[in-house]
Amino acid sequence: MKELIETIVKPLVDFPEEVHVNVLDEENRVTYQLSVNKNDMGKVIGKQGRVAKAIRTVVYAAGSSQQKKVFLEISE
C-alpha cells in the first residue's frame, strides 16, 4: 500500500524525493501518513480537495481486502 501511495503522488509533485509515507499499524486500523514538501501541498490536495479525495478513494478501495480500516492523512 505504501508503494501504491508513492506511485500515485510522486508524478504530481515538483519534489518527488521529499514524498514520504509512514505507516501506523494499530489493532483495528492502519493509518498511512503522507508527507510532502510544503510547496507541493496544493498539488496533492487539489482544488476543493478533489485530488486528495481521489487518492483516498483509491487507497480505501485497495485496502478493502484487509480486515482493518484504512486511513490516509496528508501533512507537510
- In which order are the strands placed within the sheet that holds 29-35? 20-25, 29-35, 69-75
Distance CA 26, CA 32 (A): 11
Q: Which CATH class is domain 2-75?
A: alpha beta
Q: Above 90 in pLDDT, residue 75?
A: no
Q: Above 90 in pLDDT, residue 72?
A: yes
pTM for this prediction: 0.89
Distance CA 25, CA 31 (A): 6
CB 18 within 8 A of CB 10: no
Give ∠ CA 71-44-74 in degrees, rounded to 5.
Answer: 35
pLDDT of residue 9: 95
- Domain assignments of the chain as residue spans, ordered by start: 2-75
pLDDT of residue 15: 95
pLDDT tens, position by position, 12-69 = 999 999 999 999 999 899 999 999 999 999 999 999 999 999 999 999 999 888 888 9
